[in-house]
Structure 1
Amino acid sequence: MTKRRSSTARAGAPRLSAALIAGSAALLPAVAPAQQDAGDDSLPTLPVPQAAAAIPDDDASTRPTLLEEVIVTARKRAEPLQDVPVSISAFNADQLDARGIQDVRDLTTAVPGLTVTDLGGYNLIYLRGIGTDIFIPSAEPSVATYLDGVYFPSGHSLAQAFGAIDRIEVLKGPQGTLFGRNSTGGAVSIWSRNPGQTAETSIQTSYAPRFDDTRTRVYTNLPLTSDVAASLSAYYNRADNVYRLDNGTGDHLPPEIGKGARIKLGIRLGDEVSLLLTGLAAQQRGTSTTASANVDPTPLLGATLPAETRDYVVTANSEPKLTTDSRAAYAILNWNHPGVDARLLGSYYFVRAHDYVYDFDDTREPVATYGADSEYQRFYTSELQFTSNADSWASSWLKWVGGLYYLSSEGGYDPGYLRLVDSVQLPISNIVSALPPALGSSLDALLGNSGLPESLTFYFTGLLKTESYSAYVQSTASLTDWLDLTLGGRWQREKRRLAQSDVDVGAADALLGYSFSPAETSATNFSPKVSLDFRPLQDVLLYASFQQGYKSGTYNIINIFAQPEYVKPEQVTAYELGLKTEWFAHSLRLNAAVFENDIKNLQTGFMSFTSGGAINLENAGRARIRGVEVETIWQPLRSFDPGLVVSGNGSWLDARYTDYENGRGFDESTGLAYGNGNFSGNRIVRTPKFSGTASISQSFALPGGQLEVAGDYYYNSGYYYLAQNTADTFEDAYGIVNARISYLYRRHGLRVTLFGDNLGDERYNLAQFHTDFGREDTLAPPRTWGLRLNWDF
């Protein structure tokens, strides 16, 4: 550790990535467009059709929206959902609107095995028990997020409000072969609408009076010439904070405001070549889950702190707030050749969180505040992909895809801070005696036993750089009319570099500083995939698969008292048996899967000041997840009542750490952190044993249109937030009831919906955060209702 006086983050765009993105902007190829459905006039800039798969004419009049087939690209080519031997939950735009899904959190009730919580402005996504539970730039999600085929690695949700989109695909289990790094839990693929040759506009607006909640999105498409079209999508959301601030100042918490815009330009350069250019910007401003209440102070450091017993009340003296800015640009060029389709993609993505304040003790006492002046991530990616087509050799029985991928990124804090005691005089002995001996001695020596100054603030600057190369290939051979074999693999080499880790300590007028040593680690991985799928009957698909996934190793970039540690890569080996079926003339769809995930070096998080750092990632030695999932949609009275649809899904998970020694936790008698816990046999965090949704909808034909009445019930059996699995870290079981009534006036494409969310007024958490000072909860919104208007013309 080297003494230093001050620190300034140094960030610059890597030259190689800049060259790649510049080259891509000028000449950018991507997977060749799949065959378009009849009547689809969108420019061929997206490798999937825009519409749901066609169904027989005799089914069309009686097939409800929820039973429509969705075209997916789970294997980098356009295929009907039911024909893909991968566990997927997919929804087109109409299905998303019918279910009331407007952002990533809403997917929880629609996708079995998916849990979405929030912490410090990060979306923490767990899928089948695998996810990331910490909010630092170096802790990338375990469930990869893609927008229009472009990888967005940040935990800050770019698609906080989805805006106008075409469909969403949630791919479960590791997707290491085709989706690459950091997809050990799966992948969420969001596809936005593409420019086309038909002028159209879509508007959605809603209002919920309880929190003056307004949400508006607009999409418009304009053909400029026969070969050029442009589209614009924008959204603006505003709502009063569900929490009230009561700290004696008379101030109010800011409203939650989200806004963004996306512009796309599609260009047909020839019969076989098309270019898609996209730019977007978004901002989320408010408090997110930085607004929380200390409901259970710890016995020692929190002994004098009052527990908050009121719902939706914050007493923080450091007023919570957070602003997140995102911007991205990407370009894709599709190029069809006889025998092969090519795609070259280049992207740039930047996200920055600032004006970040989190009251670390979450009370009106001026004890501790965590925050960041600037926390950012910058990514450059390039991908070259080749896909077989109808003119390829052996195309009647062999399909394949392969490619090369490159990623360069940097990110960190510039700076973040942890402030202890705001403008108050306390004897330092009270603080030092409550800390671990090594930490207490360090503070005692640092301050010279002089008594605590007006403020003691640790400023930390951390910078992590990444460079990753990979190559992949996957092929599917039809051995018979009813048996397919899929083989694939991905090779990856990645270099992580802790470029900077500095700490400045502000004590009165003095400023002390020190720097930790830079570090660098390289790792190589190969992730294989083997799958067999059988079709013993029409509309029945059975599959068995073996695959592996890999999540990159990383560094704890902001340890305060110790050299930042390297966190080993997370590796998953998955086995799955699956079933996809449709029965009774496509009126019943029943899909199921049974699986086991064996995980080595599962990355998990812990945050504590007294543990020798601030935010820490660490490795659990091994973990195992066994589970069963079921999804079904049924039209039970097709002849007598075709508008009645019943659906449901369920996920049963046995997710446990099988070898987790020397884990970090909080002592129940003192509340102080320790680092020698044995959590082997404990349940994996943020993973309920059971979660599921039951839904029913009834539609009626009325003059000029259609009326629909629908409702759903979601149940979650509860889960732990910390690996130590103590009672105070458990989220109790909860159930949520939602309902809606809508009327569609077909002549003008106008739909009016009356909706109600959490009608049972259930209390459950969006976030539960454990610190040295206690358990801090952020409640999900209470009962709300409102009106939503959709107008397409």
Structure 2
Amino acid sequence: MSALSRAMLLGSSAVGVFLATHSAVAQEAASQGVDNASSYGLEEIIVTAQKRSSGLQDTPIAISAFTGETLEERGIDDVDNLQSYVPNLHIGREQDGFKISLRGIGLQGTTSISDSGVAFYADNFYIGRPAGGSAIFYDIDRIEVLRGPQGTLYGRNATGGVVNVISKLPTKDFEGQVGASYGTRNLWEVRGIVNVPLHEIAAARISAVYTKEDGYVKNVSTVPGTKDLFGTDGDLTLRGQLLVGSPDEIEVLLSATHSKLNGTGVPLSYLERRINTGAPPVRALAATIPADNPNPLITNNNTPGYLDVETTTPFVRLTKDFGGVEAVVQFGKMWQTSDLVQDFDGSSVNVGYFRKYQDSDAGSVEARLASTGDGPLKWITGVYYFTEDTYINRLVTLRGLTPGGIITLPNFDLDEWGKSTTKAAFGSLTYSFTPALRATVGGRYTKDKKSGTKLTKSNFGQPLPPDTPLAKTFDKFTWKLGLEYDVSRDIFAYASVSTGYKAGGFNISSDSSPYDPEEITAYELGIKTDLFDRRVRINLDSFYYDYKDMQLTTLGTYGPTAAPGQFTVNAGKSRIYGLELDTQFKITRELLLSATYAYTNAKFQDLCNRDPRDVPPPPTAASCAAKGLLGIDLSGKRVPYVAKHGITLGAQYTLDLGSAGELTLAANHAWHSKKWLREFAVAGIDDVKANGKTDATITYKVAETGLKVTGYVTNLENDIEKSNVYVSPGFIGTNAGTAYTKPRTFGVRADYKF
């Protein structure tokens, strides 16, 4: 039996059990005369995952959605915390940004033309280079996480899925909120919102949040200018919105977000040191580095470092209802600069430092029409354009040891310019054969162009690699076929076959070698249920991915000039399949229980690659040489960043205190089995052991005052784990470093609504 057959059989069997159970209990309840009118149920969430409003339980996609209030109650205030609540979501951080993976698909390199496999949106505006994204987790209406390829409606780089952060819109009521938080590691946060009606058809909303935190990795260096901890000297985010008119005439939303993040640097925590490459003087000096502190959260970075990121994002959306047809046109821009200085050897010895400066200018336009009538045919169609120009400068300064003493070597200094453009047209039709049975067909044509060049101004005194302008164009038609069936009022089933695509490119920062687009064909079968008068919610999704040419990025110094850079290669074929079970149980009016389980089998079936840690590299495997590829055969290795098993358990209890208010206690435990952070699967380097993390909150709402006070703890066990692996590109040794997740954090927050 094929893997696809096994996955679909498991899903179908579970669906049958759910249907039979609900049918039997529903009949029993009816025979006993249960009064549904007096019952209570789970929260209903409206989402826009299909670019039109629909109920979460009526949307034929594996989706996790959280309201802004739920996020506050659970203490989810940044992207990192979100991964404890969404099946198969992984967040890693490297240099000046964060990387997202869903079901093992996503992440990205850090060149000027790199793309992620998980599309990140803020208010339906695509952000190609999310940096400091935690600041936007305030004054939001909801977060939607769509698992699986979303190539038809979202298109660009959504092979793994979509994360969409949706802000609260201005309303016609005067209201506001102020709040403050204090927590572990001298965390301070102040925030505020004000919503003002300007006219019967206009309203404005302004929000601001300022955060300062010492950080959790301690730096014991005493060099002047170095910081004791790697945190922030103060992050400020401002958002302003103006909503004018109505869809019947024309509705205009003007929005702008500006954030300025003042980080005190990015620590280097080494897993191993391999002083086996680089110029002899550098190796001699690096050999004097003392042993690292056994505590991974204590380092000795003697270079005064920082990470400053400034982002401005204006956005305009026009909405007009023509009677049966709604038209939406939206424009967005993003200007972002980031400046990073980092100790490159992560030690008390002054071997070298790294600086990366990046300037990005991106913009997009989307125009779409969608039916709004009650007929059997619903449709949506549109066009999309995206462009991004990115400049990056990378500077490495090294020192070495000679018989004459310490010397400074010539720098490595590289300028890089990249440009990406996307043009697309898309459409989707859903036809209702009966009130309960619907079919969907959708398609998208995408044309991508990548161009760029680099200028190597210095290469440690070695010969300069060639700097030839390059350009490549890719195009692809992706499609989706879907079937939906309302089994009953409370049971909704769906099945789909869809394709996804992410453009190829070339290794602009290294040897300019090309890499192919990655393509996916995904099969999904799912069921969503709200049973027993919406007191029990059981959602099950089974999926199978046939993945071709998955893009994988490593650092290295390959080639005759040994110039460092990123190298992206394609995994010829990968197979990913699994099940995701998401449940909620409203036991009483006061008690809510939840549980999720994810099983994912993700393996490479055809992959050849070189581990940059291995110098000199081992001989190319015969199976790889036969395909004209270099490296060792990694077929059968697990896809990184996804565990085979994942479980979350949650509980929330609300106690009515009468005239005194309301007290809510909540806890969530997230556990995953062993997973890997690189395709090479080197024990002690790439592995993350099975681990669990518990978060808990206690919230007191003072009756009729608008005051809410929350105490929280995250990672109660105080267990940290690696979130990514970074191998330095050779000139101070092929050293493997990592970033760790946050240790235990306590805090209290207070908010007052008026």
Shorter-chain TM-score: what band? Answer: 0.7 to 0.9
State the shift of 1:537 in Å: 1.8
Are 1:779 and 2:740 an aligned pair? yes
Partner of residue 468 from structure 1, selected from 413, 422, 426: 422
Kept in 2, the 8 Å contact 1:666–1:673? The answer is: no
State the shift of 1:466 in Å: 1.7
- 1:669–1:504 Cα change, 3 Å: closer
Counterpart for residue 221 of structure 1: 195
Are 1:755 and 2:745 an aligned pair? no
User: Aligned partner of 1:416: which letter?
Assistant: R
State the shift of 1:690 in Å: 1.7
Kept in 2, the 8 Å contact 1:504–1:511? The answer is: no
Kept in 2, the 8 Å contact 1:469–1:492? The answer is: yes
Please show how residues 663-702 of structure 1 align to structure 2 within 5 Å.
Answer: 663-667=610-614, 676-702=631-657
Kept in 1, the 8 Å contact 2:44–2:55? The answer is: yes
Deviates more, 1:583-592 or 1:335-344: 335-344
Counterpart for residue 722 of structure 1: 678
SS of aligned partner of 1:249: coil
Kept in 2, the 8 Å contact 1:223–1:230? The answer is: yes
Please show how residues 128-143 of structure 1 align to structure 2 within 5 Å.
Answer: 128-143=103-118
Counterpart for residue 294 of structure 1: 270
State the shift of 1:745 in Å: 1.6
Counterpart for residue 42 of structure 1: none
Please show how residues 9-48 of structure 1 align to structure 2 within 5 Å.
Answer: none
State the shift of 1:212 in Å: 0.7
State the shift of 1:201 in Å: 0.3
Are 1:591 and 2:569 an aligned pair? no
SS of aligned partner of 1:95: helix
Task: Give me the whole-angstrom Cα distance separating, in 2, the residues matched to 1:621 and 1:485.
Answer: 33
Task: Give me the whole-angstrom Cα distance separating, in 1, the residues matched to 2:692 and 2:300.
Answer: 28
Kept in 1, the 8 Å contact 2:325–2:371? The answer is: yes
Task: Give me the whole-angstrom Cα distance separating, in 2, the residues matched to 1:60 and 1:352.
Answer: 56
SS of aligned partner of 2:115: coil
Counterpart for residue 21 of structure 2: none
Task: Give me the whole-angstrom Cα distance separating, in 2, the residues matched to 1:329 and 1:121.
Answer: 22
SS of aligned partner of 1:247: coil
Kept in 2, the 8 Å contact 1:128–1:687? The answer is: yes
Task: Give me the whole-angstrom Cα distance separating, in 2, the residues matched to 1:554 and 1:352.
Answer: 23
Q: Deviations over 1:171-209 (max 9, x none)?
A: 11000000011000000111101111101102332111x
Please show how residues 397-408 of structure 1 align to structure 2 within 5 Å.
Answer: 397-408=376-387
Q: Deviations over 1:434-487 (max 9, x none)?
A: xxxxxxxxxxxxxxxx99951231111111112211000001111112211000
Are 1:337 and 2:293 an aligned pair? no
Counterpart for residue 111 of structure 1: 86
Partner of residue 81 from structure 1, selected from 46, 53, 56: 56
- 1:546–1:60 Cα change, 3 Å: farther
SS of aligned partner of 1:485: strand
SS of aligned partner of 2:71: helix
- 1:154–1:270 Cα change, 3 Å: closer
Counterpart for residue 426 of structure 1: 402
User: Aligned partner of 1:689: which letter?
Assistant: K
SS of aligned partner of 2:199: coil
Deviates more, 1:545-554 or 1:133-142: 133-142
Task: Give me the whole-angstrom Cα distance separating, in 1, the residues matched to 2:333 and 2:709.
Answer: 38
Kept in 1, the 8 Å contact 2:111–2:566? The answer is: yes
User: Aligned partner of 2:458: which letter?
Assistant: V
SS of aligned partner of 1:97: helix
Kept in 2, the 8 Å contact 1:502–1:513? The answer is: no
Partner of residue 734 from structure 1, selected from 668, 691, 698: 691
Kept in 2, the 8 Å contact 1:406–1:470? The answer is: yes
Q: Deviations over 1:364-405 (max 9, x none)?
A: 233343321x21221111111000012xxxx42111100011
Kept in 1, the 8 Å contact 2:538–2:582? The answer is: yes
- 1:396–1:746 Cα change, 3 Å: farther
Partner of residue 531 from structure 1, selected from 471, 482, 486: 482
Please show how residues 216-365 of structure 1 align to structure 2 within 5 Å.
Answer: 216-249=190-223, 251-252=226-227, 253=229, 255-256=231-232, 257-268=234-245, 271-287=248-264, 290-298=266-274, 300-301=276-277, 305=289, 306-354=291-339, 356-365=340-349
Kept in 1, the 8 Å contact 2:620–2:631? The answer is: no
Are 1:620 and 2:571 an aligned pair? yes
User: Aligned partner of 1:201: which letter?
Assistant: G
Task: Give me the whole-angstrom Cα distance separating, in 2, the residues matched to 1:122 and 1:401.
Answer: 34
**Where do 5+ consecutive residues of structure 1 fail to align?**
1-56, 428-449
Kept in 1, the 8 Å contact 2:440–2:481? The answer is: yes
Task: Give me the whole-angstrom Cα distance separating, in 2, the residues matched to 1:368 and 1:619.
Answer: 32
Counterpart for residue 658 of structure 1: 605
Task: Give me the whole-angstrom Cα distance separating, in 2, the residues matched to 1:617 and 1:189.
Answer: 27
State the shift of 1:269 in Å: 6.7
Task: Give me the whole-angstrom Cα distance separating, in 2, the residues matched to 1:575 and 1:458.
Answer: 47
SS of aligned partner of 1:224: strand
SS of aligned partner of 2:456: strand
Partner of residue 743 from structure 1, selected from 677, 690, 700: 700
Kept in 2, the 8 Å contact 1:135–1:155? The answer is: no
Kept in 2, the 8 Å contact 1:571–1:601? The answer is: yes
Aligned residues: 691
State the shift of 1:754 in Å: 1.2
Partner of residue 494 from structure 1, selected from 440, 444, 448: 448
Kept in 2, the 8 Å contact 1:113–1:650? The answer is: no
Q: Deviations over 1:119-178 (max 9, x none)?
A: 113211110110124333322211111111111111424454412100111111000000
Partner of residue 574 from structure 1, selected from 512, 522, 526: 522
State the shift of 1:729 in Å: 1.5
Q: Deviations over 1:620-668 (max 9, x none)?
A: 11111111101111012x3xxx211110112111111111024444229
- 1:572–1:412 Cα change, 3 Å: farther
Task: Give me the whole-angstrom Cα distance separating, in 1, the residues matched to 2:672 and 2:448.
Answer: 38
Q: Deviations over 1:337-360 (max 9, x none)?
A: 023111111111122111x12333
State the shift of 1:696 in Å: 1.0
Kept in 2, the 8 Å contact 1:297–1:303? The answer is: no
Task: Give me the whole-angstrom Cα distance separating, in 1, the residues matched to 2:484 and 2:405.
Answer: 71
Cα RMSD of the aligned pairs, angstroms, is 2.5
Are 1:205 and 2:183 an aligned pair? no
SS of aligned partner of 1:747: coil
Q: Deviations over 1:6-53 (max 9, x none)?
A: xxxxxxxxxxxxxxxxxxxxxxxxxxxxxxxxxxxxxxxxxxxxxxxx
Kept in 2, the 8 Å contact 1:240–1:254? The answer is: yes
Q: Deviations over 1:574-619 (max 9, x none)?
A: 0011010011111110001110111111111101346743222221
Task: Give me the whole-angstrom Cα distance separating, in 1, the residues matched to 2:432 and 2:457.
Answer: 62
State the shift of 1:726 in Å: 1.0
Task: Give me the whole-angstrom Cα distance separating, in 2, the residues matched to 1:746 and 1:553.
Answer: 57
Kept in 2, the 8 Å contact 1:759–1:783? The answer is: yes
TM-score (norm 1): 0.83
User: Aligned partner of 1:681: which letter?
Assistant: G
Task: Give me the whole-angstrom Cα distance separating, in 2, the residues matched to 1:136 and 1:245.
Answer: 29
Kept in 2, the 8 Å contact 1:294–1:308? The answer is: no
SS of aligned partner of 2:82: helix
Kept in 2, the 8 Å contact 1:86–1:171? The answer is: yes
Please show how residues 103-182 of structure 1 align to structure 2 within 5 Å.
Answer: 103-182=78-157
Deviates more, 1:115-124 or 1:183-192: 115-124
User: Aligned partner of 1:348: which letter?
Assistant: K
Task: Give me the whole-angstrom Cα distance separating, in 2, the residues matched to 1:199 and 1:515.
Answer: 61
User: Aligned partner of 2:387: which letter?
Assistant: S
State the shift of 1:313 in Å: 1.1
Counterpart for residue 22 of structure 2: none
State the shift of 1:224 in Å: 1.1
- 1:768–1:452 Cα change, 3 Å: same
User: Aligned partner of 1:460: which letter?
Assistant: L
Please show how residues 499-518 of structure 1 align to structure 2 within 5 Å.
Answer: 500-505=453-458, 515-518=466-469
SS of aligned partner of 1:748: coil
SS of aligned partner of 2:642: coil
User: Aligned partner of 1:756: which letter?
Assistant: V
Are 1:187 and 2:162 an aligned pair? yes
Partner of residue 519 from structure 1, selected from 470, 476, 480: 470
Counterpart for residue 350 of structure 2: 366
Partner of residue 102 from structure 1, selected from 53, 74, 77: 77
> Kindly, what percent of the aligned residue pairs are identical?
28
User: Aligned partner of 1:787: which letter?
Assistant: V
Are 1:600 and 2:600 an aligned pair? no
